[in-house]
Amino acid sequence: MLLENSMEVEGPWREVSRRTDGPEDGSTRVASRPPSSSLRAPSADVPSLCRSLPVSISPNRSKGGESQSSSMPSIPNPFPELCSPAHSPVPMGALLGQSTSSAGATHVVKVYGEDGRSRSLWVHAGTTARDVSRMLVQTAHCADQESWALIELHPALGLERCLEDHETVVEVQATWPLEGDNRLLFRKNYAKYEFFKKPMQFFPEHMISDSADVNKGMTSSELIQNLLNSGSCPEIQGFLQVREPSRKAWKRFCFFLRRSGLYCSTKGSSKEPRHLQYVADLEDLNIYGVIDGRKLYGAPSDFTFCIKPSRNRARSRDMKLLCAENEQIRTCWTTAFRLFKYGKQLQCNYQLSQSIRLQEGAVRQGPKHSVTEASLVAMDFSGKAGGRVIENPKEAQHAEQEEGLAWRKKTALRYSLPNTCHGSRSTSIHQTQPWFHGGVSRGEAQRLIEEQGLVDGMFLIRDSQQHAKCFVLSLCYKLKTKHYLIIPCEEGGRNYYTMDDGVTLFIDLLQLVEFHQINRGILPVCLKHPCVCVAL
């Protein structure tokens, strides 16, 4: 046994080791050391022991120095992330037992595309839905960067809603059940801020409460526009059917949506305080659209939505199901709910999205100016003195019809060009376009357009399931989806497509879309927004 205070050494320690290449008798060789007066021999009754003594190893020791203890190569650390917390994918809060919602923690966000595939992203605790959308736009190489959004989906309950741009994604995921199929979807939503552009389409006059008419002499459109500019919303009233708690029956009540909350009248449409019953506070609630409400909840119509506490887990007993008569009424209620809850924040989100869109458009176009539909005018270039603006509306309409008929001459010119394989081009050019969705059904096409916002001019083209070799143009107009049959025809030995019984002919679907993006033709509105599905 070696005594604790058997020796004291001043200065640096020298290594004492057993040589493997020494004599066979097992003797040891001790590294030379200058004598020191402070070195004391051990007691006589303690036998002399040969042991390796600790040595302070300098990080800059030379490879061939005399103090090298071993010739074995250094082994790299197989888990460097455990020794380098800054580069570790595991949140530091989880390692230290702290809350993972700290500002420096990172989290995994899994986002699904409409094709069922997913992409995982590392985000910080304060990452917003706008930030995640922009990250996915860049990683998925989307052709356009506008109107993309994150959708919160609860498949078991049939609920979905579009996350606001300022909402924190990690906080939204924290309200999900631990063992559930909830997910985030990445898709288009053209109607996120459409009510700022067309307020009267979202707020019909019969749903605006009389108490909102505080400024007499103003029209409804002026009142709504002033309220939207100030980040507010008019009070909304109307009849909705509500599902009673713990029952499958639905009853019809008159509801009122105000800044103070949601109320229902116990006596018809009376707004007297003694007849109003408080239903919910808007600050702590989220509003969701209901998918297939007839099948899941026995709703009387397809225009079902619900409100539920935003901080609670998604449970059916916490939901209040409401059902409207048509899509316009449901859109009005959901839009007003968003405005009352977030107020000025929505307007800030809209202004920021507009500024980003203008900046990106300026970068793409360079010195050119962006062209909008409002800046287009009818021109006549038939004269020798150059073009002139057609100011007479009837003359402009007649010129539009003549332009449509002139497409026949353009197609003949395109076919007369050398080295053109028009046969193969006409049958395959549309398959590479983002607005072509192949053999989806009528109901599926309607669902895709509804999911992406029901904005005027949203469209897609699909194969007709009832007529062979025909196509269908599905177009959204005034919150409804209309379908137009595209028929192939033959004239002069060449194949064409038409939607107006041969009055206007197109050599392929791409030319048909390009024409109707500028001219309405027989359509109620020009084609503006293609219904796009992106693969992550």
Whether residue 36 has pLDDT greater than 70: no
Residue 286 located in a structural domain:
yes
Do 169 and 313 share a structural domain? Answer: no
pLDDT for 122:
93
- Give the up-direction half-sphere exposure of residue 221: CA atoms within 13 A in the CB hemisphere: 4
Q: How far apart are CA 477 and CA 475, in angstroms?
A: 7
Is residue 73 very low, low, confident or very high in pLDDT (cuts 50, 70, 90)?
low
User: Is the confidence at residue 126, as pLDDT, over 60?
Assistant: yes
As a whole number, mean pLDDT of residues 203-215 equals: 70
Q: What share of the chain is helix, strand, coil (3-state, %, to 5)?
A: 30, 20, 50
Q: Directed axis angle between helix 327-342 and helix 344-365, to 10°?
A: 100
pLDDT of residue 218: 63
247 and 184 share one domain: no
In this structure, of 28-42, 188-202, 377-391, the range with the lowest mean pLDDT score is 28-42
Same domain, 127 and 215: no
Q: Domain check: are 430 and 395 in the same one?
A: no
* Average of per-residue pLDDT across 487-514: 91
pLDDT-derived band at 140 (thresholds 50, 70, 90) equals confident
In a shared domain, residues 207 and 338: yes
The chain-wide mean pLDDT, for the chain, equals 76
Interatomic CA distance for residues 446 and 454, integer angstroms:
10
SS3 477: strand
In a domain, 496, yes or no: yes
How many angstroms separate the CA atoms of 74 and 55, rounded? 18
CA 511 to chain CA mean position, Å: 31
Mean pLDDT for 165-169 is 95
Q: pLDDT value at position 166?
A: 95
**Rounded average pLDDT over 512-527:** 93
Structure tokens, 147: 């109107």
Q: Is the pLDDT of residue 470 over 90?
A: yes
Q: How many other C-beta atoms can be found within 10 angstroms of the C-beta atom of residue 417?
A: 8
Q: Write the CB contacts of 388 (distance below 8 Å, at least 6 apart in sequence).
A: 379, 380
| CA separation for the pair 137, 143 (Å, rounded) | 9
Choosing from 53, 80, 97, the residue where a domain stops is 53
pLDDT recorded at residue 366: 53
Name the range with the highest mean pLDDT among 153-167, 373-387, 409-423: 153-167
- In whole angstroms, what is the distance from residue 112 CA to residue 535 CA? 9
In the chain, DSSP finds a helix count (H) and a strand count (E) of 14, 21
For residue 63, being part of any structural domain is answered with no
State how many domains the chain has.
5
For the cut 50, the answer to whether the pLDDT of residue 8 exceeds it is: no
pLDDT given for residue 114 in this prediction: 84
Q: Over 60: is that where the pLDDT of 48 sits?
A: no
Q: Does the residue 341 lie in any domain? A: yes
Q: Can you tell me the distance from the alpha carbon of 291 to that of 155, in angstroms, rounded to the nearest whole number?
A: 9
Regarding whether 416 and 399 lie in a shared domain, the answer is no
Side chain identity, residue 232: S
Query: Residue 405: its pLDDT value, please?
Result: 54
pLDDT score for 228: 77
- Give the pairing type, strands 159-162 and 458-463: unpaired
Higher pLDDT, 420 or 355: 355
Residue 335 lies in a domain: yes
Instruction: Identify which has the larger pLDDT, 407 or 481.
Output: 481
Tens digits of per-residue pLDDT, 221-258? 777 777 777 777 889 999 999 998 777 899 999 999 99
163 pLDDT higher than 90? yes
Q: What percent of the chain has pLDDT over 90?
A: 40
> CB within 8 A of 274, min separation 6: which ones?
none
Query: Above 80 in pLDDT, residue 323?
Result: yes
Percent of the chain with pLDDT over 70: 67
Contact between residue 186 and residue 120 where contact means Cβ atoms under 8 Å apart: no
Q: Does 314 have pLDDT greater than 90?
A: no
Q: What CATH number is associated with residue 434?
A: 3.30.505.10
pLDDT confidence band for 263 (50 / 70 / 90)? very high
**What pLDDT sits at residue 383?**
59
* pLDDT value of residue 242: 95
Most confident region among 104-118, 389-403, 404-418, 452-466 by mean pLDDT: 452-466
Quick check: 531 and 450 in contact, CB under 8 A?
no
Co-location of 128 and 16 in the same domain: no
Alpha helix segments (H runs only) across 1-62: none
Regarding whether 218 and 155 lie in a shared domain, the answer is no
Residue 363 pLDDT class (50, 70, 90 cuts): low
For position 216, what pLDDT does the model report? 55
Domain enclosing residue 298, as ranges: 194-348
Residue 151 maps to a domain: yes
pLDDT band at 429 (very low <50, low <70, confident <90, very high): confident
- Has residue 442 been placed in a domain? yes
235 and 317 co-located in one domain: yes
Report the pLDDT value the prediction gives residue 196, as an integer from 0 to 100: 87
Residue 134 shares a structural domain with residue 184: yes
pLDDT of residue 37: 41
Q: How confident is the model at residue 220 (pLDDT cuts 50, 70, 90)?
A: low
In a domain, 69, yes or no: no
Rounded to an integer, what distance in angstroms lies between the CA atom of residue 178 and that of residue 460?
38
Q: What is the pLDDT of residue 356?
A: 80
**CB contact at 8 A, 436 and 508:** no
12 and 114 part of one domain: no
CATH of residue 242: 2.30.29.30
Last residue of a domain, one of 309, 330, 348: 348
- Mean pLDDT, residues 210-230: 65
Higher pLDDT, 339 or 391: 339
Same structural domain, 441 and 386: no
What whole-number distance in Å separates Cα of residue 362 and Cα of residue 353? Answer: 14
